[in-house]
Amino acid sequence: MLVFGGTGDLTLHKLLPALYHLHREQRLPADLRILALARKPLDSDGYRALAERHCRAQVARGDFTADTWHSFAARLDYFAMDAAQSAEFGRLAQHLGKGCSRARIYYLATAPQLFAPIAAHLAIAGLAGANTRIVLEKPIGHSLASALAITQAIGKVFDESQVFRIDHYLGKETVQNLMALRFANALFEPVWRGAHIDHVQISVCETLGVENRGGYYDQAGAMRDMLQNHLLQLLCLVAMEAPVRFDAEAVRNEKVKVLQALKPLAGLDVRDLTVRGQYTSGHIGGQEVPAYYFEKNVDNDSDTETFVALQVEVDNWRWAGVPFYLRTGKRLQRKCSEIVIQFKPVPHRLFPGAAEHANRLLIRLQPEERISLQLLAKTPGKGMTLEPVELDLNLATAFSRQRRWEAYERLLLDVIEGDPTLFMRKDEVEAAWRWVNPILDGWRECYQKPRPYPAGSTGPEQAHSLLELQGRRWHD
Ligand SMILES: NC(=O)C1=CN([C@@H]2O[C@H](COP(=O)(O)OP(=O)(O)OC[C@H]3O[C@@H](n4cnc5c(N)ncnc54)[C@H](OP(=O)(O)O)[C@@H]3O)[C@@H](O)[C@H]2O)C=CC1
Ligand SMILES: O=C1O[C@H](COP(=O)(O)O)[C@@H](O)[C@H](O)[C@H]1O
């Protein structure tokens, strides 16, 4: 496995710890070797020391032992090269050894601008044969046009069956549980539609800022970094029809139909139904944190959004008229990713209070993995007063004997085993960009600075008004 971007945040914080866990549980092929690549001048020993520091910090103390680390580190090497330079790939081919027939995975943990050049350079150097796979990290491109250009460039070198477009949210246990909840339980399907559902909320709130990733993030913003991929994938899983089989083509066929059914937002809708924000200084967990424009490598007059909230509809038979509210942001009050399915109230009111507390299904993805259903029950004692109570399923305690896998563990193993079910197909990526692009254009055209919100808050006021104007509120 060759990891381009081997010194980057993603590799050090997520990929290597995930590979370490898989190694520790003996799930990796015995002869798998990992070659990290980046420009930083390091030798393999220097890289292993860097990798050890990060894995030690990321892996739970009880799971990190010197013996396991040494056997894992024996798989690891480093090769310094500039992946933008074609000639460097000749050197790489030499390093790998001519005629080597090993199966290879190229993991592109780099900015998307490098995807097309890396694929082309691999081909020129004779490194892109039939026994290779390529993994592309999101966001794939910066706009619809650049995404299409990447797809075309990758397609010239690799067959679609060799391409794994990763969205790590699909590797999260609770996200896969969403499919189990919907399609393995008969209970929800009859009411999973506009006739019974008032609206859906999908929130991915982070307390982290952009850390050392200002250079990348300031070019991307919350829309490209999170909404175009992670939140739209969650929306697909909530809204899709039942696939005929649980396999890559059937699941992805259903997801792409949802993306194609998203009601376009353009012109005045962009103004009225979307909110962009950017954090100013504030406090999170008692710590003072700086404003976005003080982060490293961020332009001090940046108008990049670190928060986005919007309303969208899925224009099809099942969901006509049901608003889906999506929001994501950095430096918010709490880390919490969740999906809220708000049901409609009962049609005929027998009891006071029944209308204000219609049933609500909460699917919490993180930090806890929980599914809870809010029901109304009678308050003990005289009279018929009702109160909301929760039917609560905590997935960590329900499966307490199994270690919870990190998303990247599952996905890396799927790449190694060649299972693309939890990866995005090219038409999904394209459909997502087709919907997102007019919003980005709209923001640019009606040039409006992102609304400021203090770090540690719940986002800009306008995001709350978006729902309040329709008599609804975000679930806190
Ligand atoms: N960080 C995260 O949590 C997540 C990131 N991603 C995605 O992963 C990708 C990488 O993100 P992240 O790790 O945060 O970014 P970083 O900026 O931290 O890392 C970029 C990596 O690319 C290398 N690189 C840059 N230019 C070249 C070049 N010309 N030749 C060779 N290597 C190069 C850098 O090393 P050097 O400068 O030494 O060359 C570094 O290793 C992005 O597309 C991001 O969206 C996806 C999900 C989560
Ligand atoms: O893809 C990304 O995801 C992380 C959030 O991932 P999570 O698993 O911690 O929820 C986000 O911080 C990062 O900006 C983005 O690139």
Write out pLDDT tens, residues 357-398.
899 999 999 999 999 999 999 999 888 888 999 999 999 899
Q: Which residues contact 287 (CB under 8 A, 6 or more apart)?
A: none
Write out pLDDT tens, residues 17-76.
999 999 999 999 999 999 999 999 999 999 999 999 999 999 998 999 999 999 999 999
Out of 21, 23, 199, 230, the active site residue is 230
Closest CA to 100 of 127, 130, 134: 127
Closest ligand to the CA of 80 = 1
From CA 18, how far away is CA 54, in angstroms rounded? 12
Confidence of residue 248 (pLDDT cuts 50, 70, 90): very high
DSSP code, position 280? E
Residue 318: the pLDDT is 98
Ligand 2: residue of 15, 230, 337 to mutate (most ligand atoms within 8 A of CB) is 230
Of all atoms in ligand 2, which is nearest to the CA of residue 204?
A: 10
Could you list the beta-strand ranges (E) of 127-261: 132-136, 163-165, 197-205
- Which residue type sits at 475? H
Give the Cβ contact number of residue 431 at 10 Å: 23
Ligand 1 atom 33 nearest Cα: 38
Write out pLDDT tens, residues 229-238.
999 999 999 9
Q: Which residues contact 433 (CB under 8 A, 6 or more apart)?
A: 141, 143, 144, 147, 148, 228
Ligand 2 atom 14 nearest Cα: 225
Residue 94 CB-density burial (10 A; 0-12 exposed, 13-18 middle, 19+ buried): exposed
- Please work out whether the CB of residue 211 comes within 6 Å of at least one atom of ligand 2: no
Residue 101: the pLDDT is 67
Does 39 belong to an annotated binding site? yes
Q: What is the value of ipTM here, to two decimals? A: 0.97
Residue 299: the pLDDT is 87
- Matching residue, tokens 């706009």: 143
Does 172 belong to an annotated binding site? yes
Q: What's the residue count for the chain?
A: 476
Res. 448: pLDDT tops 80: no
Does 75 belong to an annotated binding site? no
How far does the centroid of ligand 2 lie from the alpha carbon of residue 447, in Å? 27
How far does the centroid of ligand 1 lie from the alpha carbon of residue 318, in Å? 40
| Lowest mean pLDDT, pick from 302-311, 325-334, 440-449 | 440-449
Residue 413: the pLDDT is 97
Catalytic, 196? Answer no
Report the pLDDT averaged over residues 182-196. Answer: 96
Closest ligand to the CA of 141 = 1
CA 327 to chain centre: 13
Does 225 belong to an annotated binding site? yes
Of all atoms in ligand 2, which is nearest to the CA of residue 366?
A: 10
Helix (H, G, I), strand (E, B) or coil at 243: coil
